[in-house]
Copies of this chain bind each other. A is one copy, B any other.
């Protein structure tokens, strides 16, 4: 991922240095288990840990380059690493990696990295949920127009909108937690996964120490349906980010102006038009969502490896594992900040709500008319006619309100008078169940 969209804590998980350190930890833990089982000398495990530990801890850019140089000869990354470590550990190094195969190290390391990444993302989601909840309660009863198809429908509250996003991101948290569990497995099962040369208890030991479950059956590699499910979960989270970003972009439109991303002192919206204040954060989030989503297809294509394994998944994962988690971490963090600082304009919401002459109350009138005895079809026709007349005259001199247009419909005035219409259109009814919904969404908290 490009530096612009990278935060250091997530990037650290994916650094080559950290990768080598995790590799060593797996090898050292495996050696300790083998020593306990008597497969290798107890001293060997001790020396591997004592000499290897500091050597691994000291891996920096120069050491990475040294390992890479060995790889240019062996054309095999794990062998290069083992060779590098052996130089520091000495003869006991030959007891490292006994009966294991590269995938044991690589796939277990990836599991460690992905679970750590998932933990950061879960924390990101918690922060976002907190921000959404705070703003939702702040605006629990801030009236605003609800829109379907981009057209004014009926009143709702801005808090209700945010409660919907809260519920969606709560679901995403559940999905991400499930996805984390999917990929939190350890495999130390040797070539083609038969444990022919490594005892299953080694795997159990390493798994327990690393906080992972044991992979029930691996075919040398941890099966890639797990990873596909993980990236699919990230893609769903990304799509929810896009939905909230799209909402903000709509609210900030010049004609709507109901909310606005925070505009910093010194910020410039355009190189040519000094008047511009653009929703660039939410647009950026929209693009980041496309990026994170794009990883789901190659992750799915990675599942059907040949026979016990091929290595076609590797190049894909070298890119998408960091890119998806780093990109999503950045996006969630940006979204949280954006929502925390979002400027909300309740007066403007009220203005827009009233701007269509009252037609947004058409359903309540329709119901009242049917209850007053009109057929559904006749009531619909009358209300539609009154609404269209109101709409088309909007902003013109002498334009009649929806209420007055309704009274002008013969079918209407015979069953309801102005007072009855006013009662039917009473806006307080629109918010009667806001608390119910909030209870549903936030009660479990």
Asked if B236 contacts A276 (CB within 8 A), the reply is: no
What are 19 A-B interface contacts by the 8 Å CB criterion?
A: A83-B377, A91-B375, A97-B272, A100-B271, A148-B192, A149-B276, A150-B307, A151-B279, A160-B193, A172-B225, A194-B431, A197-B364, A232-B296, A253-B253, A275-B388, A290-B316, A291-B316, A296-B296, A351-B395
Which 3 A/B pairs are nearest by Cβ-Cβ distance? Answer: A146-B192, A275-B387, A287-B315
Asked if A102 contacts B270 (CB within 8 A), the reply is: yes
* Residue from the list B156, B192, B249, B290 in contact with A308, Cβ < 8 A: B156
CB of A402, distance to nearest CB on chain B (Å):
8
Asked if A192 contacts B236 (CB within 8 A), the reply is: no
Which residues in B have their C-beta under 8 angstroms from that of A218? 164
CB of A117, distance to nearest CB on chain B (Å):
16
**Closest chain B residue, CB of each to CB of A266:** B73
CB of A277, distance to nearest CB on chain B (Å):
7
CB contact list, A208-224 vs B, under 8 A: 214, 216-220, 223
Given A76-B268, A306-B250; A274-B430 close (CB under 8 Å): no
CB contact list, A388-412 vs B, under 8 A: 388, 390-391, 394-395, 402
Instruction: Place the interface of chain A in its size category.
Output: 35 or more
**Closest chain B residue, CB of each to CB of A244:** B304
CB of A428, distance to nearest CB on chain B (Å):
10
A86 lies within 8 A of chain B by Cβ: yes
Which residues in B have their C-beta under 8 angstroms from that of A219? 146, 161, 164
Asked if B311 contacts A216 (CB within 8 A), the reply is: no
**Closest chain B residue, CB of each to CB of A192:** B146
Asked if A429 contacts B308 (CB within 8 A), the reply is: no
A295 lies within 8 A of chain B by Cβ: yes
Q: Which one of A48-56, A413-421, A432-440 is at the B interface?
A: A432-440
* Residue from the list B197, B216, B298, B429 in contact with A363, Cβ < 8 A: B197
Cα distance A91–B375 in the bound complex, in angstroms? 7
* Residue from the list B147, B195, B267, B363 in contact with A254, Cβ < 8 A: B147
CB of A305, distance to nearest CB on chain B (Å):
7
Which residues in B have their C-beta under 8 angstroms from that of A155? 192, 194, 196
Asked if A75 contacts B194 (CB within 8 A), the reply is: no
* Residue from the list B243, B381, B440 in contact with A304, Cβ < 8 A: B243
Asked if B268 contacts A74 (CB within 8 A), the reply is: yes
Asked if A239 contacts B216 (CB within 8 A), the reply is: no
A383 lies within 8 A of chain B by Cβ: yes
A109 lies within 8 A of chain B by Cβ: no
Asked if B246 contacts A154 (CB within 8 A), the reply is: no
Asked if B363 contacts A191 (CB within 8 A), the reply is: yes
CB of A414, distance to nearest CB on chain B (Å):
16
Given A149-B280, A367-B99; A268-B384 close (CB under 8 Å): yes
Name the residue in A95, A153, A429 with the highest tally of chain B Cβ atoms < 10 Å from its Cβ: A153
Asked if A362 contacts B164 (CB within 8 A), the reply is: no
CB of A45, distance to nearest CB on chain B (Å):
15
Asked if A319 contacts B312 (CB within 8 A), the reply is: no
**Closest chain B residue, CB of each to CB of A1:** B319
Which residues in B have their C-beta under 8 angstroms from that of A254? 145, 147, 150-152, 352, 355-356
Asked if B253 contacts A150 (CB within 8 A), the reply is: yes
Asked if B99 contacts A363 (CB within 8 A), the reply is: yes
* Residue from the list B171, B272, B289 in contact with A226, Cβ < 8 A: B171
CB contact list, A131-165 vs B, under 8 A: 145-156, 160-161, 163-164
Cα distance A160–B308 in the bound complex, in angstroms? 10
Cα distance A251–B139 in the bound complex, in angstroms? 28
Which residues in B have their C-beta under 8 angstroms from that of A233? 229, 232
CB of A185, distance to nearest CB on chain B (Å):
11
Cα distance A134–B166 in the bound complex, in angstroms? 46
A42 lies within 8 A of chain B by Cβ: no
CB contact list, A283-303 vs B, under 8 A: 283-284, 286-291, 293-298, 300-303
Cα distance A32–B245 in the bound complex, in angstroms? 40
Asked if B160 contacts A300 (CB within 8 A), the reply is: no
